Structure 1
Amino acid sequence: MPSGSSQYETRAPTAAAPVPGRSTSPVPLAENFENGPPRLAVEYRPAAALIPFAKNARTHSDAQVAQIAASIREFGWTNPILVDGDNGIIAGHGRLLAARKLGMGDVPVIELAGLTEAQKRALVIADNKLALNAGWDNELLGLELADLGELGFNLSLTGFDELEIAALTSAGTSGLTDPDDIPETPEQPVTLPGDVWLLGKHRLICGDSANAADVERVLAGVRPHLCVCDPPYGVSYDPSWRERFGDGEGLARGKVLNDDRADWREAWALFPGDVMYVWHGALHAATVASSLEASGFAVRSQIIWDKTRLVIGRGDYHWQHEPAWYAVRKGKKGHWAGDRKQTTVWAIPHRKSDTGHGTQKPGECMGRPIENNSSPGQAVYEPFCGSGTTIIAAEMTGRCCHAIELNAAYVDVAVLRWQAFTGQAAVLDGDERIAAARAGGVA
């Protein structure tokens, strides 16, 4: 058949002529090749010249062919097509379809000319079935997928779909406790400033989200594209925070308390990603928006959390909602992964905080942004961890959270909360002797 033809034919198997004194069943290689199997040689042949096996029982959907094509585009040819001496395909029918989809002229092949007809037909089946007979260590697989996702790799190139990845990288949507259960805040924290806790695949540092060294330590080389946070607007967080970073033109000063203006652009500047959800008190909406704009982000939407019941206050009106800005770095994409039915009003029942942390959110307030703008296994950044709500939301959705919390007592709460929810033990990064001596305080 002409090599330049745009069509290819399929060839039916031909019966092998019986040889006196020899079985037509496959025979050991040692009997086929006196000096062992021949060395394999890869060569390139026109894709149009290759002839698919007419009785190939293996099927390839359009979606699966697209996956193979994406793999070839990403990794190159890693597995040549196996052919017989007449260009008949023994293994690699899907790869040929992918090559044609990519418009490739020549493809790599290995010729297996020494096989009997029966062996060729058996290998067409065995090449597929033997691979299917292998299994997975799901725990190791989940860890690998989580690590790749944290590095920002496109996990669809592994061949797993999003549901499979979510199942493998997540401990599940439920834990051992109510995800919104909060341990009591300790009077004497076990955590010390600078401590980094490893909560399974998550990292939590007792540090300052406006300190480049602390951010670098908690990210550990990872660059999350999504930040979901609840800065302490309207609560007493750290009276001396701003004095450590100089004046800064246009920044609000002093305690973040009640109606005082606050501006966290120093923290935004250290976030390496492109997408931010920032919860805040409604009276601070303009300040938050201007700080995001000044940091290179464009506000795309305002999310309204409808608490479904009022929160008693001193004002004439009792608050029943809280806003969040959804912002994307200018010139970048939003990495949208949600459906097209979502609105800007989220009715999520409010549960009164038991921690004393003034802006405690239900886990769903952090979980929805995570699911809408990231994929399972990817990293999420939380620069104001508080009691660990974003960590729990990341655990439930199969993401990896890198979190920072300035208050050591809240770090203890987040560690205890994660341990109770997962049944796993947190590990203090660094000196194992120190970790062992202090682990009892957060166990």
Structure 2
Amino acid sequence: MNKETKYFIADIDELIPYVNNARTHSEAQVNQIASSIKEFGFLNPVLITGDNTILAGHGRILAARKLGLKKIPCIKEEHLSESQKKAYIIADNKLALNAGWDMELLSIELSELEGMDFDIDLIGFTGEELSKIFDEGKEATEDKFDVEKELEKPKTSKLGDVWHIGKHTVICGDSTDGEVYSKLLEDKKVNLVCTDPPYMIDLDSASGKIKNDNLKDKEAYEFLLGAFTNFKDYMSKDASIYVFYATMKARIFYDAYEDAGFKVGAGLIWKKPRAPLMRTDWKFNMEPIIWGWRKDGKHIWYGDQKQKAVFEFDGLSNSKTEGFGHPSSKPVPLIAYLIKQCTQTNGLVLERIIPNIIQLNFFTHPLKSPYNKAFV
């Protein structure tokens, strides 16, 4: 019995689908296979019989047709009996399904691929599956770090200083200056940007005036455009971005955001249980957020399909003890929630334009975070 394997290139139109093939292929899965072939090449030949009937590779044939391929690599078998052929068609699909995963090693491999700026959509996992792989048993937990005691210690910094805090890096610099990002990140690309720039509404804080918060509209646009453009240059093609802003200056923020090369994915609302005390007619018990990604890329979603565009988290007071003197300090659970939807363990998150130390604390001491973070 001759069991020698014969490899050759076949005309796709000469191949005959097996009439009783029980394996189904959705349009989404065919698109995944097509993307895989486009990225890696046609590395898995189609198995056919002596009369060109397909034994294994029906999905690859559909994907090849979608890609417009006329010829594909094949293997021809000429030793199986009719009963063996029927059995092999089923076994080829079922045996692969019986395998499992070493989740720890899988998480490590996928994390390394994301760090290499590889499009992990090509691998075939859904966003929900990736979320389970990376977030199982890895929730942020409190530790015993004394924030107030640490803040009492003398601190000095100057432009250009780089601080290393565990896995995290902070640089004192101008967020509109590209050289600052080059020094901070070198040739690395980030998986997420979460930024809280000045709202341009001349807010007072318990610590005094906020720098660059009273710019005229044209100056504000140029300031934001410079920062947002740098954001895009150091984001991977599949990264997302969150931008906190004030509704009164929405047009300026959206214009700068889109002109910098970002696509608006959704307008999100952080709802607060209580409105802060402000001398306004309408009390703002919410803050809006722009969420999106690069226009020349696509984002990866790691959350499930139950997330709503309005979410509620407790706010912080405008005090030096709780809110660190900033009128719009962001609570740790809020930042953790946003980041979890768009990145995974060991992902690189960039916080540009840090308005207050709460965001810095989230990724340094008060919480043990599974994410790496860089700050400007």
TM-score of the alignment, normalized to the shorter chain, above 0.5: yes
Q: CA 1:71–1:225 in structure 2 vs 1: closer, same or farther (change >3 Å)?
A: same
Matching residue of 1:268? 228
Gap change, CA 1:98 and 1:228, over 3 Å in 2: same
What is the CA distance between 1:361 and its match in structure 2?
1.3
Task: Report the count of equivalent residues.
Answer: 345
The residue aligned with 1:74 is 39
2:15 corresponds to? 50
State the one-letter code of the partner of 1:292. Answer: A
With over 3 angstroms needed to count, the CA separation of the structure-2 counterparts of 1:290 and 1:319, relative to structure 1, is same
Do the aligned partners of residues 206 and 139 (structure 1) sit closer, same or farther apart at CA in structure 2, a change above 3 Å counting?
Answer: farther
Q: Summarize the Cα distance change of 1:113–1:364 in structure 2 as closer, same or farther, 3 Å threshold.
A: same
Structure 1 pair 128–41 and aligned structure 2 pair: CA distance change class (3 A): same
Q: Secondary structure at the match of 1:381?
A: strand
Deviation at 1:136, TM superposition (A): 1.8
Distance in 1 separating the partners of 2:48 and 2:42: 16
Q: Does the 8 A contact of 2:163 with 2:171 survive in 1?
A: yes
> In structure 2, do the counterparts of structure 1 residues 160 and 303 end up closer, same or farther at CA, with 3 Å as the change threshold?
closer
User: Structure 2 regions of 5+ residues with no counterpart?
Assistant: none
Match of residue 416 from structure 1: 365
Equivalent position of 1:110 in the other structure: 75
2:52 aligned residue (81, 87, 97): 87
Distance 1:64 1:111, change over 3 A: same
Question: Relative to structure 1, is the Cα distance of residues 79 and 418 closer, same or farther in structure 2, using a 3 angstrom cutoff?
Answer: same
After superposition, what is the alpha-carbon deviation per residue over 1:193-224, rounded to whole angstroms, capped at 9, x for unaligned? 4233454xxx4334335354542354353434
Distance 1:268 1:59, change over 3 A: closer
2:103 aligned residue (138, 144, 152): 138
Find out whether 1:292 has 2:256 as its counterpart.
yes
Shift in Å, 1:160:
0.9
> Which stretch shows the higher mean deviation, 315-324 or 380-389?
315-324
Q: Is the 8 A contact 1:310 1:318 kept in 2?
A: no
Q: Name the CA distance, whole Å, in 2 between partners of 1:85 and 1:77.
A: 21
CA distance change for structure 1 residues 173 and 330 in 2, over 3 Å: closer, same or farther? closer
Aligned partner of 1:362 among 323, 327, 331:
331
| Alpha-carbon offset, residue 96 of structure 1 | 2.2
CA deviation after TM superposition for structure 1 residue 79, in Å: 0.5
Q: 1:44 to 1:294 in 2, by over 3 A?
A: closer
CA contact (8 A) 1:280 1:288 kept: no
Q: TM-score when scaled to structure 2?
A: 0.68
Q: 1:229 to 1:185 in 2, by over 3 A?
A: farther
Q: Which amino acid aligns with 1:362?
A: P
- Cα deviation, residue 356, structure 1: 1.4
In the alignment, structure 1 residue 215 sits paired with structure 2 residue 169: no
- Tell whether the 8 Å contact from 1:307 to 1:348 is kept in structure 2 after alignment: yes
Structure 2 residue identity aligned to 1:308:
P
The Cα shift of 1:161 comes to 1.1
Asked which structure has the greater CA Rg, the reply is 1
**Compared with structure 1, are the counterparts of its residues 113 and 287 closer, same or farther at alpha carbon in structure 2 (3 Å cutoff)?**
closer
Sort the Cα spacing of 1:198 and 1:57 in 2 relative to 1 into closer, same or farther, 3 A: farther
1:55-204 superposed matches below 5 A: 55-117=20-82, 119-171=84-136, 174-177=139-142, 183-184=147-148, 186=150, 187-188=152-153, 193-197=161-165, 199=167, 203-204=168-169
Measured after TM superposition, the shift of residue 349 of structure 1 is 3.6
Contact preservation (8 Å) 2:198, 2:213: no
Percent of residue pairs bearing the same amino acid type: 30
Q: CA RMSD in A?
A: 4.9
